[in-house]
Structure 1
Amino acid sequence: MTDVAALKRRMGRVGVWNSTLGGESASFEREAAAEVERLGYGTLWVGESPQGKEALVHSALLLGATQRMMVATGIASIWARDAIAASNGANALAEAFDGRFVLGLGVSHAPAVSARGHDYRRPVSAMSTYLDAMDGAKYGGPLPEPAPRLLAALRTKMLELSARRAQGAHPYFVPVEHTARARAVLGPDPILAPEQTVVLDTDPERARRTARRFMSLYLALPNYVNNLRDLGWSDEDFAGGGSDALVDAIVAWGEPEKIIERVRAHLDAGADHVCIQPLADTPRDALEHLRVLAASDAVSS
């Protein structure tokens, strides 16, 4: 059994979500991961796409470049590998790297699933079946403790599954009010680790333009739009990359102090861990933004 309270402490209150590292060289990634650890962030999250590095191999690269920081997948798609491979791979990483790996699992989205040659099925049922197969897998190697898992969860049924069948949930592309709702569904104990996109720019027009470029991709995906509808947002908010109100709710922008305020708002709403995703022109620029935020005490928020 995973000690969830201990896992929360190891993950830290603030982590980093990075969608661009996978496109860089392994040598750059090692340097970047070591820098994120040096800055004091508790967990480094990496995604997975049909065009990118395989999630478990990618995590091994980052774990090998660090000594204390946790590495989490945000997320590993259940369509990218069968459940036994996911279970055995995650457990191998947990054993090899002293329990520093967290397996974030998700059902992904129809376009990405189709690109892998699969048919997108009912997400909660597909995830439940996958978890059944993971739980039935027999791992033959030495294993002090199985790898913990979090589920990419937005709406009620997947959040409930996260509480029953995993150590918690990793919501993505969500405003603070979702964090409060998710905590109410999960209950007090499971881990709640939302992603928070940030733009270090004090010019409203420029910052929102940067945010809309990022948001336009996600506002074309029904999973995210339907979740936002549940929270009261409308078609008018989704048009043109997002209304000002929606942009400001999804992407925190401005001075470092404004970013810190948003992180604290998630924590006050019930999050255990907030992973910040800086939008920047290059991965090196993103690292510089993380340095600025670390220097302004965002990490210790």
Structure 2
Amino acid sequence: MTLSLPRTALSISELDGLDHDGVIRFVRTLEEYGHRMVWIPEVTGREAFTTAALVLSATERVIVGNGVARALERVPKSAGSAARDLAAGYPGRYVLGLGVSGAVRERGVGPLPFLREYLDGVDKVASGVPKVLGAYSAGITRLAAERADGLITFLVTPEHTRWARETIGDLFLSVVQWAVVGRSRAAAREVARDRLAYYLTLPHQLAKLKRLGFTDADLAPPGSDRLLDALVAYGTPDQVREAVRAQYDAGATQVALTLVGPLDDVKLDAYRALAWEEN
């Protein structure tokens, strides 16, 4: 399946901090601003598929992707059945995203063979559902080209995007790009550091960042200025637009912005301003 999705999207992490009614108000606001697609990460708090169902039911046109649902959280049949029902209930508006971390090795299997077998189970019940894989390693990136309709990456530099494009050929490639809008660079770095702290505790994220050329000194909490400046776009909405063009130039089909920082009036203004013409 060839994915035809908006050139720009959002990856919205705010949902973990919102109650049921707050989620509805927030995603309706994003739709009102003109955003056409959101990816929902599964990090803390919210379950992937029930949250996707909530966002789909709360909006009229927004395309929703699990970006990504953690395969270790549920058996393949459960993931596939949930994805099949969402795709059937909201035709053309749902994309299944799946990922797995190195924590799977505690089960005595590596991430690549685990995910390959997992996809076998998903495809038994949801073979026609559009799906993408979250991946950084060469093996799972190639698996996306073999078994999925696209790849989604997170916290990567344009150099990684260029490598991914070379690896997957013409496959759909979404790159999640962090941004801090409306603050000085020094203040923006501190906001981003607060968010990055969690990811600097995860072995698979550290391994990925080391492959991208960052040193132990860069990755030591709270993260070096060099690391922050390579991973985060700063400034006005126009400056953020200009910064993410590097990801398109490197081969991204889509850039999905994550606005880092508290959900306040400044961030809502940024969401309004970043409903890009390309959408």
TM class, shorter-chain normalised?
over 0.9
Match of 1:171, SS state, is strand
What is the match of residue 235 of structure 2? 254
CA contact (8 A) 1:175 1:250 kept: yes
What is the match of residue 129 of structure 1? 117
Which string of whole-angstrom CA distances, capped at 9 and with x for unpartnered residues, describes residues 138-184 of structure 1? x6xxxxx8221111111211110011110111111111111111101
Residue 41 of structure 1, aligned match among 35, 41, 52? 35
Distance (Å, rounded) in 2 between the aligned partners of 1:282 and 1:99: 29
What is the match of residue 13 of structure 2? 19
Match of 1:170, SS state, is strand
Is residue 55 of structure 2 the alignment partner of residue 62 of structure 1?
yes
Distance (Å, rounded) in 1 between the aligned partners of 2:265 and 2:84: 32
Shift of 1:35: 1.9
Distance (Å, rounded) in 2 between the aligned partners of 1:54 and 1:300: 31
Distance (Å, rounded) in 2 between the aligned partners of 1:230 and 1:43: 30
Shift of 1:245: 1.6
Which string of whole-angstrom CA distances, capped at 9 and with x for unpartnered residues, describes residues 88-131 of structure 1? 11011011011211111011463xx79xxx74741111111101
Which string of whole-angstrom CA distances, capped at 9 and with x for unpartnered residues, describes residues 41-82 of structure 1? 231111224x52221111011001112221011111111111
Which string of whole-angstrom CA distances, capped at 9 and with x for unpartnered residues, describes residues 237-282 of structure 1? 1123222121111111112122101222111111111110101223
Structure 1, 33-42 or 262-271: larger mean CA deviation? 33-42
What is the match of residue 129 of structure 2? 147
Is residue 278 of structure 2 the alignment partner of residue 300 of structure 1?
yes
What is the match of residue 241 of structure 1? 222
Q: Which amino acid aligns with 1:218?
A: Y
TM-score of the superposition, structure 1-length normalised? 0.86
Give aligned-pair identity as a percent: 35
TM-score of the superposition, structure 2-length normalised? 0.93
Is residue 73 of structure 2 the alignment partner of residue 80 of structure 1?
yes
Report how many aligned residue pairs link the two structures.
Answer: 279
Q: Which amino acid aligns with 2:114?
A: A
What is the match of residue 211 of structure 1? 192
Q: What's the Cα RMSD here?
A: 2.1
CA contact (8 A) 2:237 2:270 kept: no
| Structure 1: stretches of 5+ with no match in the other structure | 140-144
Change (3 A) 1:202 1:30: closer
CA contact (8 A) 2:102 2:111 kept: no
Distance (Å, rounded) in 2 between the aligned partners of 1:202 and 1:281: 12
What is the match of residue 23 of structure 2? 29
Q: Which amino acid aligns with 1:57?
A: T
Q: Which amino acid aligns with 1:198?
A: A
Is residue 163 of structure 2 the alignment partner of residue 181 of structure 1?
yes
CA contact (8 A) 1:109 1:120 kept: no
Distance (Å, rounded) in 1 between the aligned partners of 2:278 and 2:222: 32
